[in-house]
Amino acid sequence: MNALRKHVIQPIIDCWSLLVGLKITGKYFCKPLITVHYPRQVIDDENLTTYGGHVELIGKPKDPAMPKCISCMMCVTNCPSGCLKVVKQKVEKPTPEQEQAWKEAEERGEKVVKPKAPKNPAKFVYDYTLCSLCGTCIDNCPAKSLKFSNNIYWVATSRKEMKIDLLARLKGQATDLSAPAPKTEAKPAAAEKEA
């Protein structure tokens, strides 16, 4: 009985396992590539819609360099890892002439409307080294001013570089978008492959 198992049944089981393994390998071997040969090829933006990179600010539709952020601090309060630092704008100090004018208006019983600080933040710094990409800041932002970036090719060589000034990044992105299109377009990856 043992000889039958050793010389007949076991080899059949081994061959069957081998065939199953080869079938799976063959199936994936014939599928089109889902990876690219970076840096010779890059992934198109439309294929990055589900990619969740670092957190970044969203600009206003009419002024892309200006964040939709209203400095409410909800993201800072709710972030479990303390990655975000937002500094509110300060009210501009009134000139002595303005102060005098307000005082006189108040004495006359008039309503004085004093200037308020702008709502957009003065500073918005994000520490990517601490972020767990949990999305709590994005979910809690009442102004819908935060999103995960599709910045897939971003690299940093030190922890310091991973502290990102999100206002500067937004400004840079807005400038890039408003820049005129290059005269010659880069060769598409597929064309490069064929060449």
What residue ranges bind ligand SF4 (CB under 6 A)?
Answer: 55, 69-75, 79-81, 83-84, 86, 131-137, 140-141, 143, 145-146
d(CA 39, CA 140): 36
Nearest CA among 99, 173, 58, 82 for reference residue 134: 82
Residue 12 C-beta: closest distance to ligand SF4, Å: 53
Which residue, 140 or 173, is less far from ligand SF4 as judged by CB?
A: 140
d(CA 171, CA 32): 38
Residue 83 C-beta: closest distance to ligand SF4, Å: 4
Which residue, 141 or 170, is less far from ligand SF4 as judged by CB?
A: 141
Q: How far apart are the first and last CA of the chain?
A: 63
Nearest CA among 127, 133, 176, 177 for reference residue 156: 127
Residue 149 C-beta: closest distance to ligand SF4, Å: 11
d(CA 186, CA 71): 40
Which residue, 41 or 140, is less far from ligand SF4 as judged by CB?
A: 140
Residue 142 C-beta: closest distance to ligand SF4, Å: 6
Which residue, 48 or 138, is less far from ligand SF4 as judged by CB?
A: 138
The answer to whether 97 and 46 are in contact (CB under 8 A) is no
Residue 109 C-beta: closest distance to ligand SF4, Å: 37
Which residue, 145 or 150, is less far from ligand SF4 as judged by CB?
A: 145
d(CA 189, CA 195): 10
